[in-house]
Amino acid sequence: MTCAPRRKPRLSEITREVQGSKGRYVLREHGAEAELAWSILSPLHIIADHTGVPDALRGTGAGRRLVERLVADARLDGLKITPLCPFVRAQAQRHPEWADVFA
């Protein structure tokens, strides 16, 4: 009996949307949509307001991937993040290597 090789799951693309003083990251996967919403406090400071992950994406790491994108973009753009969202705050505490971007 031979085992078929496992396929790597296709990584979902995370899009960044900005409108006025608000923005969000959106991850679409398997017909569901997870988001991390944020507000612009100043040109160099944003507030992570809310992370929403539907039941269809729970346990897939969707929320963590959204925060990873937020952190990566903050580093590229020289931003500081105030984590108002409890999920983002918890992720920041679990990842001390991200301390450079959290206010």
Q: Return the residue matching tokens 């693309």.
A: 13
| Domain range enclosing 97 | 37-101
Q: What is the pLDDT of residue 69?
A: 97
Whether 53 is covered by a domain: the verdict is yes
Contacts of 30 (CB under 8 A, 6+ apart): 56, 57
Does residue 89 lie within any of the structural domains?
A: yes
What strands lie across the sheet with 14-19, from one edge to the other? 14-19, 22-29, 32-42, 45-52, 80-83
Decide if 48 is inside a domain: yes
Helix (H) or strand (E) holding 25: strand 22-29
- Tell me if 25 is assigned to some domain: no
Query: Is 63 inside any structural domain?
Result: yes
Q: Give the pLDDT confidence of 18-70 residue by residue, as tens digits.
A: 999 999 999 999 889 999 999 999 999 999 999 999 999 999 999 999 999 99
**Is there a domain that residue 15 lies in?**
no
Query: Over 70: is that where the pLDDT of 2 sits?
Result: no
CATH number at residue 86: 3.40.630.30
**Number of domains the chain is built from:** 1
User: What pTM was estimated for this model as a whole?
Assistant: 0.86
* Chain CA centroid to CA 65, Å: 5
pLDDT at position 10: 46
